[in-house]
């Protein structure tokens, strides 16, 4: 573990879904500022105004940030690119290190830090993001009272129906993520042990990115801005369609 002063500040960003969120958290876990927006506008329109407004209201200068963390995927291809590009630009200008966080890890970290989690502890935490085409981006975590969420199934893109095999032997399984309600609708007949986490701890957000980043920073798992890249679990749809056209002999 790396010794990191508690007062070092982390700026975290999440643009992986319809909402956009930003947060500043110190390395001791203290939440200094956060802001969330879900108004239907594109992240290219909302991210920087939201960030600038949060920093201004909290009276935090960008130069005071020590680490820049981002949900680097999986998620919306466009949203992931916007978030990664924004963090790379700010961190490069200031010469600060970056932290790449799995969106699924961030959701689990946020759920584990929520006071309500005691109602859902000693469970398998199933993080699911709607990837369309009856698929989800998914990871599964073991969550015990008083401990971090431990990943037991790594990040993947998987058919919703395939989750049955992974969860059918669990005494209790809790769904988090923007695909949670979709998965519950599909799987509830086969998996009576399945439940939804409360909405206020379910969705991906920058707070979770920051909490996951603290652990990575203390482990020395940071990168230079130029090393920060998006995490895609599937080939983007445009590339899939282009490949299909070429296989069919179309230009």
- Cα atoms found within 13 Å of the Cα of residue 202, Cβ hemisphere only: 16
Which domains does the chain possess? 9-104+204-244 (3.30.420.40), 116-201 (3.30.420.40)
What mean pLDDT comes out for the span 47-55? 97
Supply 132's token pair. Answer: 């369309």
Q: What pLDDT score does 238 carry?
A: 46
What average pLDDT score do residues 98-112 get? 96
Give the bridge partners for 71, in sequence order. 101
Whether the predicted pLDDT of 67 surpasses 90: yes
Residue 196 confidence (pLDDT) = 93
HEC string of 21-73 equals: EEEEEECCCCEEEEEEECCCCCHHHHHHHHHHHHHHHHCCCHHHCCEEEEEEE
DSSP 8: -
246 vs 21, residue with greater confidence = 21
Q: How far apart are CA 250 and CA 71, in angstroms?
A: 36
For residues 47 and 82, the answer to whether their CB atoms sit within 8 Å is yes
Which pLDDT band holds residue 240 (cuts at 50, 70, 90)? Answer: very low
| 137 CB-near residues (< 8 Å, 6+ apart) | 74, 75, 103, 104, 128, 129, 131, 155, 156, 157, 179, 233
pLDDT at 246 over 60: no
Mean of pLDDT values over 53-70: 98
Q: Is 75 left (phi over 0), alpha (psi -120 to 50) or beta?
A: left
pLDDT band (50, 70, 90) for residue 171: confident
Amino acid 29: pLDDT: 95
pLDDT (tens digit per residue) in 181-203: 999 999 999 999 999 998 888 88
At residue 251 the predicted structure's pLDDT band, cuts being 50, 70 and 90, is low
Peptide bond into 71 cis (omega under 30): no
**Average pLDDT for residues 189-218, to the nearest whole number?**
93
pLDDT category at 144 given cuts 50, 70, 90 is confident
Please report how many Cα atoms fall inside a 13 Å half-sphere around the Cα of residue 134, on the Cβ side: 5
Question: Residue 75 has what DSSP assignment?
Answer: S
Lowest mean pLDDT among 87-96, 206-215, 235-244: 235-244
Question: Considering the chain, what percentage of its residues have pLDDT values greater than 90?
Answer: 76
**The pLDDT of residue 83:** 98
pLDDT at 239: 52
CB 214 within 8 A of CB 29: yes
Q: Is 98 in contact with 235 (CB distance < 8 Å)?
A: no
What percentage of the chain exceeds 70 in pLDDT? Answer: 92
Mean pLDDT across 138-165: 92
């Amino acid at each position: 573990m790396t010794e990191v002063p508690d007062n070092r500040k982390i700026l975290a960003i999440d643009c992986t879904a319809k909402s956009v969120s930003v947060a500043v958290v110190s390395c001791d876990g203290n939440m200094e500022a956060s802001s969330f927006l879900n108004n239907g506008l594109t992240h290219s329109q909302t991210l920087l105004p939201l960030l600038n407004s949060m920093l201004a209201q909290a009276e935090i200068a960008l130069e005071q940030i020590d680490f820049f963390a981002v949900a680097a995927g999986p998620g919306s291809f466009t949203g992931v690119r916007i978030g990664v590009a924004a963090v790379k630009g700010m961190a490069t200008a200031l010469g600060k290190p970056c932290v790449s966080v799995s969106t699924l890890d961030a959701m689990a970290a946020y759920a584990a830090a929520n006071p309500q989690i005691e109602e859902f502890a000693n469970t398998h935490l199933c993080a699911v993001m709607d990837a369309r085409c009856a698929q989800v981006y998914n990871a599964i975590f073991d969550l015990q009272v008083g401990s971090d969420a431990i990943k037991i199934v790594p990040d993947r893109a998987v058919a919703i129906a395939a989750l049955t095999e992974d969860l059918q032997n669990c005494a209790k399984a809790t769904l988090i993520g923007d695909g949670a309600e979709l998965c519950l609708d599909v799987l509830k007949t086969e998996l009576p042990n399945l439940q939804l986490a409360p909405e206020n701890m379910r969705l991906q957000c920058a707070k979770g990115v920051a909490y996951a980043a603290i652990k990575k920073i203390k482990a020395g798992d940071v990168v230079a801005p130029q090393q920060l890249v998006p995490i895609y679990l599937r080939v983007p749809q445009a590339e899939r369609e282009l490949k299909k056209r070429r296989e069919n002999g179309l230009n």
